[in-house]
Amino acid sequence: MPEPLTTDAVVPADHPYYRAQPVSFVRRSARLTKGQQRAWDTRRDRYLVEAPRDRAATSVDPSWRFDAEATFGRRAPLVVEIGSGHGEAIVAAAADHPERDHLAVEVYTPGLAQTIVRAEQCHEQRGLDNLRLLQVNAAELVESALPGASVDEMWVFFPDPWHKLRHHKRRLVRPAFAEQVARVLRPGGVWRLATDWEEYAHRMVDVLEASDDFVNAHGPGAVAPRFDGRVLTGFERKGRDAGRVVTDLEYVRR
């Protein structure tokens, strides 16, 4: 189901009500725990970057640009995680690497709120100055909002596999998306991916091996060793318990 416009959006009469392309996510409950709600209400302004909207609640105005230097108050290597979930990996990375800036991209409010909870628990409750959040559709973010060659690492861990054939058009990792990731990654920048869906892993390899913009860091068609920065989550643990094998991939921007 395409994502409709926000109810308060002001658009021309001939502006389409729905996005032209399907999104890689579905609507989910926005119910928060008490702790998440408290963090969202009191600390959201510290971490959340408000992106101007286009058609829908998680859309991005195509004229808007994310300014990392202005946002973080410095110039530093930028790590972007798409689909950051509850923030396990991106918060750990921000805590372990204060010399880098980290941007968590997630559409679900409970995930973003839990990311804030985790961030506020870091560094003896002082929080993390090198972490920001964006509640946007990732495809639109990389298409227009991230400046060219502005990202040092892009992470896509466990994107929805949309395993039914008729839903493959919803998958995030496709040739068009790879082109946009190549646009925003600096030369030598790294794209890290992980999935526990074998068929999707093969498709990711096919997409990236066919791209002129990327080279496999471990040899043509090869998988990568498990990335140390990818924190073991409950989601991954459940998949392993169900017998699914995780595939890590690492590609470098030419």
Catalytic residue list: 160
Encoding tokens for residue 254? 């030419």
| Residue 144: Cβ within 10 Å count | 19
The single residue listed with the structure tokens 């643990």 is 237
The SS3 of residue 177 is helix
Residue 148: which residues within 8 A CB-CB, separation 6 or more?
183, 184
Check if the beta carbon of residue 93 is closer than 8 Å to that of residue 102: yes
Report how far residue 30's alpha carbon sits from residue 108's, in angstroms, rounded to the nearest whole number.
7
| Residues 249 and 230: beta-carbon distance below 8 Å | no
Please name the residues in contact with 52: beta carbons below 8 A apart, sequence gap of 6 or more. Answer: 60, 61, 64
Q: What residues contact residue 246 under an 8 Å CB cut-off, 6+ apart?
A: 194, 195, 196, 226, 236, 239, 240
Burial (CB count <10 Å: 0-12, 13-18, 19+), residue 214: buried
Strands (E), 146-198: 151-157, 185-195
